[in-house]
């Protein structure tokens, strides 16, 4: 596309040139080259003649990373999003999804006004309401459910967002402690494991590492800034990357070594690594003696886990396991097992991640360059509020006791859903969802529908008619991240780039959309709780930055505040926030809860011939369920396919591109087969975010398959995190 750009003498594009360019973009949109399309549509430099141009700092929200951006606005219209070079976290990057944010804003499928369901659920009959009608109705239902059942009979669920805090505030002052988020479908078991080993969840100093073993993470497609960028830099600086993944991902493609590990056996690999480090005395003796608790029981425990034994479990040769352990020890402390992010995979995910945490401890990489670090995070202020007490409320959350050590403030989507369906220990009859789409991201879609069937009232706040909104009684339109003012958000990232970022409107809210802050405030008014929302977002931000004037200045000048300074050696001599005050190789608290104090390996269920384990993952241009209907990104993938290895495909008579049925005990769906050696013969895979049931998603309605329909719902025993890789499926040709 670049060489076709019509340019004036000064290198600027003329107005006529821009018109031509738009035509080129339109032409490219119907061409078959997807990268050409993305390129053409997002690089319109329209010159300066007679236009009102403005550049505004903001933070991308196409995924949770909050990459710094600069929005280019012309005559009140957003033309282009550019990376903000000041953001150390995103290191001058805006990915394909970030660029496509323009289309999030100007999408024909945007929700435009409040809608009330008419007719049966999922029939798609809606009546337009005014905001007053919608808010009155919602408040009435909240009030009624609170009185007829209890305050805890109303469930609140908010996804990743800088305004989710207001949904939590509403839940708290309304009096419900049934609050959940996407996190129990994402990373709680990883957090549990690292918290219970180190007393804190660290981040990884990938940039300065010399040896990274990356199990079950896909940093070059599942983008996490700055790690994705830093990993590339580290490789250029001679860092060795070893990837364990049943699929040949883009990360595997850039690795020095890739092992298509048998799914569900990572713990065997790391227990064997621990075995080698201990029996060959390669671990950091001084560090382990000074800072860890339980090396003796651990030494005895890992005796049984030899590389030869692990080879049979993992299908990775024993000599490679032994060599990798020795190489890691030689590179330590600049060597790590990457802690990873999404850990919603197995029933023993906390223990699997504990095995990663323990190997890191043996390498002595804690608080050291190229190891696991905890950089300082800025503490922002808030506007405090008092939680009222309701004496008729139940004792506990509705999902309490269903996992061994659930995070009280997070709970578990899976267990909450079960509890609502069972009506036990008490009825939950209302549901408020904000910016989250469990119909696509909660394994076992049929069960989510059963849960919704139990409800008297469900309200969904979204920017489009997501599958979840499609099931609701009341749908409320929200402005996208490019139209709203948000509080500030402090983040912790690795490699000297913790920081603070915020968001101001790039353009005014489209249609009748209203931010969830305003919605919660209006509901609070109607519920006699106005005193808890007696402020504006501006006031809230001021309170957040009250003691941080330098942050306020940086946000104004550069759109981001970076914490620059050392990131390691910061915790020397400090007590770990664990029971023993040390890093817990052996966790005595677990014993009190009936949990193995050290990870004990149990093999995953065997996969019979002609059945497959189905696994979840990502590619670089899809964000879970939230971007597949974006017209620009949709050009890159219009429906998903089932990855299946050529051997079983041959056996089952399935040819590339043919339609297949994927079936589990949870459900079945139909999609095209992609016959590829990029997955193991016993493992199948599909992208998330297709097979939509909502007719409001015009591009992906009925296109491809919905993986949540097929995934059975299991949970990690310790944390209650959803376990999405336990499902076995059959695959057959559609006749
Ligand atoms: N482009 C893009 N980037 C994203 C996101 C997105 O949706 N799109 N989402 C963001 C979010 S919320 C998160 S949590 C992170 C997720 O980031 P990651 O956790 O790195 O990403 P996943 O793709 O979920 O990675 C899981 C990988 O594990 C592999 N796998 C499956 N089973 C096993 C197993 O038993 N053992 C091993 N070793 N590997 C296994 C899968 O094939 C997959 O490639 O990505 C973030 N970044
Ligand atoms: N099948 C499957 N399930 C998964 C995963 C997977 O990869 N596959 N990944 C897991 C992980 S790691 C995570 S983090 C969770 C994420 O799960 P979810 O929290 O469900 O996240 P998304 O799928 O991104 O859905 C976000 C929703 O917010 C809406 N939205 C986007 N922007 C805005 C906005 O500005 N305002 C409002 N009000 N709404 C907005 C979108 O339209 C969409 O409906 O899913 C987990 N579950
Ligand atoms: S990684 Fe991409 S989508 Fe996510 S915040 Fe950054 S630019 Fe946006
Ligand atoms: Mo996630």
| Structure confidence by residue, pLDDT tens digits, 170-204 | 999 999 999 999 999 999 999 999 999 999 999 99
Please report, rounded to a whole number, the percentage of residues in the chain having pLDDT higher than 90.
90
Q: Is 629 in the pocket of ligand 2 (CB under 6 A)?
A: no
Judged against a pLDDT cut of 60, whether residue 273 lies above it is answered with yes
Query: Which of 38-52, 550-564, 692-706 has the least mean pLDDT?
Result: 38-52
Q: Is 624 in the pocket of ligand 2 (CB under 6 A)?
A: yes
Judged against a pLDDT cut of 50, whether residue 688 lies above it is answered with yes
Enumerate the β-bridge partners of residue 54: 73
With contact defined as beta carbons under 8 Å apart, do 51 and 18 qualify? no
d(CA 656, CA 708): 23
Beta strands in 96-210 (DSSP E): 115-118, 125-128, 154-158, 179-180, 203-204
Beta strands in 245-294 (DSSP E): 257-259, 292-293
Q: Which of 412, 441, 477 to mutate to test the pocket of ligand 2 (most atoms within 8 A of CB)?
A: 441
What is the edge-to-edge ordering of all strands in the sheet holding 560-563? 489-491, 498-501, 560-563
Q: Which of 62, 81, 160, 226 to mutate to test the pocket of ligand 3 (most atoms within 8 A of CB)?
A: 62
Determine the distance separating the centroid of ligand 4 and the alpha carbon of 687, expressed in angstroms. Answer: 15
Lookup: tokens for 211: 């040896």
Q: Which of 223, 497, 624, 632 to mutate to test the pocket of ligand 3 (most atoms within 8 A of CB)?
A: 223
Judged against a pLDDT cut of 50, whether residue 735 lies above it is answered with yes
Lookup: tokens for 64: 């949770």
**Band (51; pLDDT cuts 50, 70, 90):** confident
Q: Is 612 in the pocket of ligand 2 (CB under 6 A)?
A: no
**Band (34; pLDDT cuts 50, 70, 90):** low
Ramachandran quadrant class, 35 (left: phi over 0; alpha: psi -120 to 50; beta: rest): alpha
Q: What is the pLDDT of residue 49?
A: 66
Q: Look up residue 715 and give its DSSP letter.
A: E
Judged against a pLDDT cut of 50, whether residue 373 lies above it is answered with yes
Q: Is 480 in the pocket of ligand 2 (CB under 6 A)?
A: yes
Rounded to 5°, angle at Cα 592 from 591 and 597: 15
Lookup: tokens for 348: 């023993």
For the CA of 250, the nearest ligand: 1
Q: What is the pLDDT of residue 139?
A: 98
For the CA of 87, the nearest ligand: 3
Q: What is the pLDDT of residue 10?
A: 35
Does residue 613 sit in helix, strand or coil? strand
CB 530: neighbour CB atoms within 10 A? 14
Determine the distance separating the centroid of ligand 2 and the alpha carbon of 435, expressed in angstroms. Answer: 7
Return the ligand 2 atom nearest residue 623 CA.
Answer: 24
CA 473 to chain centre: 27
Q: What is the pLDDT of residue 565?
A: 87
Which residue's alpha carbon is at the smallest distance from atom 11 of ligand 2?
A: 186
Q: What is the pLDDT of residue 493?
A: 83
Q: What is the pLDDT of residue 272?
A: 99
CA 687 to chain centre: 14
Return the ligand 3 atom nearest residue 90 CA.
Answer: 6
Return the ligand 3 atom nearest residue 224 CA.
Answer: 1
With contact defined as beta carbons under 8 Å apart, do 204 and 228 qualify? no
Q: What is the pLDDT of residue 295?
A: 98
Determine the distance separating the centroid of ligand 2 and the alpha carbon of 520, expressed in angstroms. Answer: 21
Which residue's alpha carbon is at the smallest distance from atom 19 of ligand 1?
A: 342
**Model confidence over 391-441: pLDDT tens digits?**
999 999 999 999 999 999 999 999 999 999 999 999 999 999 999 999 999
- Whose tokens are 């430099």? That residue is 45
Q: Is 484 in the pocket of ligand 2 (CB under 6 A)?
A: no
Q: Is 261 in the pocket of ligand 1 (CB under 6 A)?
A: yes
- Residues in the chain, overall count: 735
For the CA of 623, the nearest ligand: 1
Q: Is 498 in the pocket of ligand 1 (CB under 6 A)?
A: no
Model confidence pTM above 0.85: yes
Q: What is the pLDDT of residue 492?
A: 87
Q: Is 214 in the pocket of ligand 1 (CB under 6 A)?
A: no
638-670 burial code (b ≥16 CB/10 A, e <16)? ebbbbbbbeebbeeeebeeeeebbbbbebbebe
Helix (H) or strand (E) holding 215: strand 211-215
**Model confidence over 110-144: pLDDT tens digits?**
999 999 999 999 899 999 999 999 999 999 999 99
Dihedrals phi, psi of 314, to nearest 5 degrees: -90, -20
**Band (47; pLDDT cuts 50, 70, 90):** low
Determine the distance separating the centroid of ligand 2 and the alpha carbon of 625, expressed in angstroms. Answer: 5
What separation in angstroms does the CA of 731 have from each of 260, 309, 672, 712?
21, 31, 11, 16
Determine the distance separating the centroid of ligand 1 and the alpha carbon of 620, expressed in angstroms. Answer: 11
Judged against a pLDDT cut of 70, whether residue 23 lies above it is answered with no
Average pLDDT over residues 718-729: 98
Question: Is the preceding peptide bond at 425 cis, omega within 30 degrees of 0?
Answer: yes
For the CA of 721, the nearest ligand: 2
Q: Is 436 in the pocket of ligand 2 (CB under 6 A)?
A: yes
Beta strands in 144-202 (DSSP E): 154-158, 179-180
With contact defined as beta carbons under 8 Å apart, do 586 and 598 qualify? yes
- Give the pocket of ligand 3 (CB within 6 Å): 60, 62-63, 65-67, 90, 94-95, 97-98, 223, 225
Average pLDDT over residues 300-317: 98
Please report, rounded to a whole number, the percentage of residues in the chain having pLDDT higher than 70.
93
d(CA 400, CA 382): 29
């Amino acid at each position: 596309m670049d060489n076709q750009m019509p340019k004036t003498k000064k290198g600027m594009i003329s107005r006529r040139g821009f018109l031509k360019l738009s035509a080129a973009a339109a032409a490219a949109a119907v061409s078959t080259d997807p990268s050409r399309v993305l390129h053409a549509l997002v690089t319109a430099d329209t010159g300066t003649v007679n236009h009102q141009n403005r550049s505004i700092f903001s933070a991308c929200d196409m995924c949770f990373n909050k990459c710094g951006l600069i929005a280019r606005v012309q005559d009140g219209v957003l033309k282009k999003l550019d990376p903000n070079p000041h953001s150390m976290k995103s290191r001058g990057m805006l990915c394909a999804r970030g660029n496509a944010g323009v289309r999030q804003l100007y999408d024909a499928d945007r929700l435009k006004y409040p809608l009330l369901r008419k007719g049966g659920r999922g029939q798609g009959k809606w009546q337009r309401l005014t905001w007053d009608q919608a808010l009155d109705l919602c408040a009435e239902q909240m009030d009624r459910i609170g009185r007829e059942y209890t305050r805890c009979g109303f469930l609140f669920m908010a996804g990743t967002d800088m305004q989710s805090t207001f949904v939590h505030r509403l839940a708290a002052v309304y009096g419900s402690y049934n609050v959940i988020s996407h996190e129990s479908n994402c990373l709680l078991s990883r957090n549990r494991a690292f918290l219970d080993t180190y007393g804190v969840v660290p981040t990884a100093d990938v940039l300065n590492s010399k040896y990274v073993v990356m199990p079950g993470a896909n940093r070059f497609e599942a983008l996490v800034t700055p790690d994705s960028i830093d990993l590339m830099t580290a490789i250029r600086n001679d860092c060795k990357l070893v990837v364990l993944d049943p699929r040949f991902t883009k990360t595997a493609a850039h690795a020095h070594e890739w092992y298509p590990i048998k799914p569900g056996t990572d713990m065997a690999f790391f227990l064997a690594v621990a075995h080698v480090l201990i029996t060959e005395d390669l671990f950091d003796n001084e560090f382990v003696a000074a800072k860890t608790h339980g090396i003796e029981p651990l030494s005895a425990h890992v005796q049984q886990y030899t590389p030869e034994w692990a080879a049979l479990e993992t299908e990775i040769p024993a000599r490679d396991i032994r060599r990798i352990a020795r190489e890691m020890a030689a590179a330590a402390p600049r060597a790590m097992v990457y802690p990873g992010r999404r850990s919603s995979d197995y029933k023993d995910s906390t223990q699997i991640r504990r095995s990663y945490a323990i190997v890191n401890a043996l390498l002595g990489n804690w608080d050291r360059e190229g190891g696991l670090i905890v950089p300082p995070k800025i503490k922002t202020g808030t506007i405090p509020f008092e939680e009222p007490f309701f004496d008729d409320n139940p004792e506990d959350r509705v999902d309490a006791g269903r996992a061994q050590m659930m995070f009280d403030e997070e709970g578990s989507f899976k267990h909450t859903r079960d509890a609502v369906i069972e009506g036990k220990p008490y009825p939950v009859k209302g549901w408020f969802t904000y910016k989250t789409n469990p119909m696509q991201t909660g394994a076992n879609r049929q069960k989510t529908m059963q849960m919704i069937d139990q409800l008297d009232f469900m309200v969904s706040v979204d920017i489009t008619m997501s599958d979840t909104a499609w099931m609701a009684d009341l749908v409320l339109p929200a402005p996208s991240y490019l139209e709203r003012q948000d509080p500030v958000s402090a983040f912790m990232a690795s490699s000297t780039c913790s920081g603070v970022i915020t968001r101001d409107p790039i353009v005014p809210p489209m249609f009748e959309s209203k931010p969830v802050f305003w919605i919660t405030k209006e509901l609070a008014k109607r519920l006699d709780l106005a005193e808890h929302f007696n402020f504006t977002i501006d006031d809230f931000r001021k309170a957040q930055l009250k003691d941080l004037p330098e942050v306020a200045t940086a946000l104004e000048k550069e759109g981001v505040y970076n914490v620059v300074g050392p990131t390691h050696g910061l915790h020397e001599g400090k007590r770990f926030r664990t029971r023993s005050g040390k890093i817990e190789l052996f966790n005595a608290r677990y014993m009190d809860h009936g949990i193995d104090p050290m990870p004990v390996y149990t093999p995953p269920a065997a996969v019979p011939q002609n059945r497959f384990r189905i696994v979840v993952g990502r590619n670089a241009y899809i964000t879970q369920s939230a971007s597949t209907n974006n017209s620009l990104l949709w050009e890159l993938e219009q429906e998903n396919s089932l990855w299946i290895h050529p051997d079983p495909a041959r056996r089952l008579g399935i040819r590339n591109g043919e339609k297949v049925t994927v079936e589990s005990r949870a459900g079945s769906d139909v999609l095209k087969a992609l016959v590829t050696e990029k997955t193991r013969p016993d493992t199948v895979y599909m992208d998330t975010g297709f097979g939509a049931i909502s007719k409001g998603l015009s591009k992906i309605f009925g296109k491809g398959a919905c993986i949540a329909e097929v995934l059975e719902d299991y949970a990690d025993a310790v944390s209650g995190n959803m376990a999405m890789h336990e499902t076995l499926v059959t695959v057959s040709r559609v006749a």
